[in-house]
Amino acid sequence: MKTKDIYHVIGYPVKHSLSPKIQMQLATKYNQDIAFTAVEIEPQDLEQKIQEFKSNPSVKGLSVTVPHKEKVFAMCDNSDELAKDVKAASNVIFTEDRQMIALNYDGLGIVNDIKNNHKVSIKNKSVLVIGAGGAAKAVVAAIIAEKPKSITIANRTKSKADDIKKLFAYKYSVDVASFENITGKYDIVINSTSASIDGQMLPLSKDNFGENGFAYDLMYAENGTIFTKWCDDNNIKNADGKGMLMELSKAVFKYWRNL
């Protein structure tokens, strides 16, 4: 008898992840007999766990969340164009010969959600991205493709914001701003940090938002994150990352299952 195909979402922490629920709903809808579970992996155990997945032929794919996106990319044998561009994996597919391929659907997820579900156009808008990890790079790549007026990055560790500026310099001039002292007004503010998981608010003020400003948190929580709650309190239109996860989950599910 053929064993069930297995998929995991990996992160640290990962208990809050909606991925197992979303993927199992998709599996029911498309009549796919799979198992999808969350596996919490501490950073020091990542390498060993990845080797275990790789040597288990039933494991067919991974979803990757904070803080593993860049390290998992580095462990892959190959990657799609998007993951290669940003050197981070949002997902992985294992091939028949157990090659591990890095995929990146983060940019597709956020842009589809902002444009199609929240009806906010990115074209000619000033965009502030806070954070400079693996997710931020994918977000910046996808935002560039939407032809914004400007992209500014602010990160707690400024050198990582500078690295993103360098990464895209060949095609777009990204601005780097101070994290502690964010000045200027933006049409769209994207929180790509994991600060919300730690229950920490970002050093933003209402004045950083232009008229009709829109805020987006890549993190999500049942009743909104600390960041989206702050936006609610300040009458700023906002969304957390559930819609992005839904969009990217649909796309990667179809790819994994060859539908």
Asked, as a colleague might, if the bond just before 13 is cis with ω within 30 of 0, I would say yes
- Would residue 69 show up in a list of annotated catalytic residues for this protein? yes
Does 176 engage in binding with ligand ATR (CB under 6 A)?
no
**What CA–CA distance (Å, rounded) separates 68 from 41?**
9
Stretch that binds ligand ATR, among 23-31, 35-43, 169-177, 191-199 (CB under 6 A): 191-199
Exposed (0-12), middle (13-18) or buried (19+): which is 81, by Cβ within 10 Å? exposed
Any contact of residue 193 with ligand ATR (CB under 6 A)?
yes
Q: Is 132 in the site for ligand ATR (CB under 6 A)?
A: yes
From the list 61, 107, 109, 134, which residue makes contact with ligand ATR (rule: CB under 6 A)? Answer: 134
Q: Of 131, 122, 180, 121, which Cα lies nearest the Cα of 152?
A: 131
Amino acid identity at 192:
S
Give me the least distance between CB of 156 and ligand ATR, in Å please: 3
Nearer to ligand ATR, 33 or 198 (CB): 198
**178 lies in the site for ligand ATR, by CB under 6 A:** no
Residue of 60, 69, 242, 250 marked catalytic: 69
The amino acid at residue 136 is: A
For ligand ATR, give the closer residue by CB, 155 or 228.
Answer: 155
* CA–CA distance, 93 with 227 (Å, rounded to integer): 32
Among residues 60, 69, 165, 242, which is the contact residue for ligand ATR, using CB under 6 A?
69
Using the rule CB under 6 A, is 200 a contact of ligand ATR?
A: yes
> Can you tell me which of 109, 131, 148, 213 binds ligand ATR, judged by CB under 6 A?
131
Residue nearest to ligand ATR (CB): 133
Please state, in angstroms and rounded to a whole number, the distance separating the CA atoms of residues 201 and 41: 25
Q: Which residues of 162-179 are buried (b: 16+ CB within 10 A; e: fewer)?
A: eebbebbeeebebebbeb
Residues 6 or more apart in contact with residue 30 via CB below 8 angstroms: 253, 257, 259
Per CB under 6 A, residues contacting ligand ATR are 66-67, 69-70, 88, 131-136, 155-157, 160, 192-195, 198, 200
